[in-house]
Amino acid sequence: MSNLGYDPFRVDLLARRLDHAVAELAELATAGDADPAAGDAMHAVRLTQYGLELHWRPLLRRLTTGDLLRGWHGSGLDAATFLESAAADRERRWPVNRFDSAVGELVDDVLVALVARLDESLPLADDDTWADDPATLARRHHALARVLARRVLDDPDFARRVVEVIPRHPTLTLLLATAEMPSWFHAAALRELAVHAGWEAGHEMQQQSVAAEVHLRALLPDPAACLQLLADSGVRRWFAHWPALDQELVADVVVAGLYGAPTSDPRLLRAGSIALHRFVELANDEPFDQRGFRPGLSLGLAATLGGYVPTFVGSLRLQHGWVFARSRGPGAPYDLALGTYDDVTDFVGALLRHPGGRAQLGALLATLARDAVADRPHVELDHVAEFAELLRRAADNEDAELAVAAAARRATLTGTFTVVGFAVSAATTATGTGPLGRLVAGRGVSLLNDAARRRVSTATIDAADFEHVTFVMLQAAACRRLVDDADLRRRLGMDEPPAETLDELAAQLERVAELAEPAEAADELGVPSADAELVLANVEDRLRVLGGGAFLDEVLGRPTVHDLTDRPLSAD
């Protein structure tokens, strides 16, 4: 307080002159309203009146009533009324070009004055009678947000300045969240937040975290914008490492960008592959190659990897060469080097450091096995073993290997497959995949978080390993196909079994799923019970008796699969 002081006599005189000036400005504004040509000028008049009401009058009132300069009272002018009149003025479209600049000046001042008040948790409007009324506050905030949003949309330069101050005034984000803002604005704000991310835990980090959440949530319905956001190196590092981001939202945005965007527009598949390549690079950069990614990014990347596997799984055979993403499907064809085999191994390893990533990649392995047995064109049987080998090498410890293996076996036996490739028809997503797959292929991704929250208890999965899991996956897929595919049975020369036999076998396969996922363990990613595998073995035996032995031998006797069983389980 030592640097504050005033002369009571002079302040009293000043207060009276202020009243006179405000009254004169109010009269002027009324007089000028009669002529549209005076619109710009009357804005300046009202702005001056507002500034005096907001800053001068409360302070002078305090001084003339005996208070010291320690408080800050608002004026009697309703901010919402003022702002609404500004918006209404604009809508009148008076033929004066300078009106835009007048509104710009208005908003700049309001931005400084009102956002600062919001950041200090002061009421936006000035009559304390209404400051605690939620409806009044909401109306005033909405009015301010509307004017700001209008200015942002109309003036790229103003939008740039607003984006720049967001990291310092996160309250501005909350305000703008009540208005409809375009995706590019949210993306720009997120890039700015990524650049200015505070790394010290505290109020600033918390505020930025809230701001980031608002913008990420707003960006989510626009997959192409999410993909574009992932093209920014600062944002990628931010997602990979900043501790205060909402991890569920990060996963959602990554899935929307890397999976949702190419699904809705195949021309974006190449951009998705490029983003994936950048994440492979990031996983091999210091310090991420030591610490891995944050859980949300790991989960999001693992959930979307299935879309890209068909583009690069063919080049995994050359285990010491380059891994190429190749697409000849819809959209422009392309070949793109994702990285060396070791680079991709490290990338997958980064995803496997979190339980959600392990669950996703386990389910992906199971899906590859199912699709390979079903002769789907995007994956061959050999690819299953090659992808399993990649996962085995990527897992940096035995626990991680076991967790992925358990997830794969569970996914196989319960039918909770994910999605492979981008050419997913609505029918497939509705019936051929588990909830996770439907989720990834669809709009929402919130259920992904169920997987993220699950924890694999290594104590319960000591029997799980890749060679056994690979066998069970193929066994389940082959049995399911023999039961479901009459054409295949005919081609194999099998005697067509009676319908009731097929129904019984189908029921037993359903029973496998039930045994594999008992209700009481629904939240655990543990190993399915041994009973499930006994029932599955029984189904296989019945199918062999019916003449399906040759097909089962072909699937289960692939040399590449048996190669896996000979490999040591321990990590590299």
Partner 1 sequence: MSHHLRAVHLRDRAQRLRDLAVRIESSPVHDLERLAGDDTWFGPRPELCRTMLRSNLHQLHRAADDLRWQAWLLEQEARQHDAHAVLEASRGG
The amino acid present at 262, given as its one-letter code, is P
3-state secondary structure (DSSP) of residue 327: strand
Minimum gap (Å) between residue 53 Cβ and partner 1: 11
Residues 67-91 as b or e (16 or more Cβ within 10 Å = b) = eeeeeebbbebbbbebbbbbeebbe
Minimum gap (Å) between residue 283 Cβ and partner 1: 50
Cα 383 from Cα 473, distance rounded (Å): 14
Residue 429 CA from chain centroid, whole number: 21
Q: Which is nearer to partner 1, 44 or 374 (CB)?
A: 44
Which one of 38, 177, 447, 513 is in contact with partner 1 (CB under 8 A)? Answer: 38
Which one of 61, 64, 109, 399 is in contact with partner 1 (CB under 8 A)? Answer: 109
72 contacts partner 1 (rule: CB under 8 A):
yes
Options 37-45, 133-141, 213-221, 342-350: segment touching partner 1 (CB under 8 A): 37-45
Minimum gap (Å) between residue 65 Cβ and partner 1: 15
The amino acid present at 237, given as its one-letter code, is R
Is residue 115 within 8 Å of residue 169, measured between CB atoms? yes
76 contacts partner 1 (rule: CB under 8 A):
no
Options 56-64, 171-179, 188-196, 214-222: segment touching partner 1 (CB under 8 A): 56-64
Options 22-30, 199-207, 300-308, 348-356: segment touching partner 1 (CB under 8 A): 22-30
Minimum gap (Å) between residue 37 Cβ and partner 1: 4
Torsion sign across C-alpha atoms 117, 120, 121, 122:
negative
Options 48-56, 182-190, 460-468, 506-514: segment touching partner 1 (CB under 8 A): 48-56
- The angle formed by the CA atoms of residues 283, 287 and 292, to the nearest 5 degrees, is 50
349: nearest Cα among 288, 303, 420: 288
Q: How many CB atoms lie within 10 A of CB 146?
A: 18
In the DSSP assignment, the letter for residue 529 is: P
Options 35-43, 308-316, 457-465, 508-516: segment touching partner 1 (CB under 8 A): 35-43
In the DSSP assignment, the letter for residue 334 is: E
Residues 280-297 as b or e (16 or more Cβ within 10 Å = b) = bbbbbeeebeeebbbbbb
Is residue 379 within 8 Å of residue 420, measured between CB atoms? yes
11 contacts partner 1 (rule: CB under 8 A):
yes
10 contacts partner 1 (rule: CB under 8 A):
yes
Q: Which is nearer to partner 1, 7 or 541 (CB)?
A: 7
48 contacts partner 1 (rule: CB under 8 A):
yes
Length of the chain counted residue by residue: 572
92 contacts partner 1 (rule: CB under 8 A):
no
121 contacts partner 1 (rule: CB under 8 A):
no
Minimum gap (Å) between residue 449 Cβ and partner 1: 47
Q: Which is nearer to partner 1, 16 or 203 (CB)?
A: 16
Residues that bind partner 1 (CB under 8 A): 3-7, 10-11, 13-14, 17-18, 20-21, 24-25, 28, 31-32, 34-35, 37-38, 40-45, 47-48, 51-52, 55-56, 59, 63, 69, 72, 96, 98, 102, 105, 109, 113
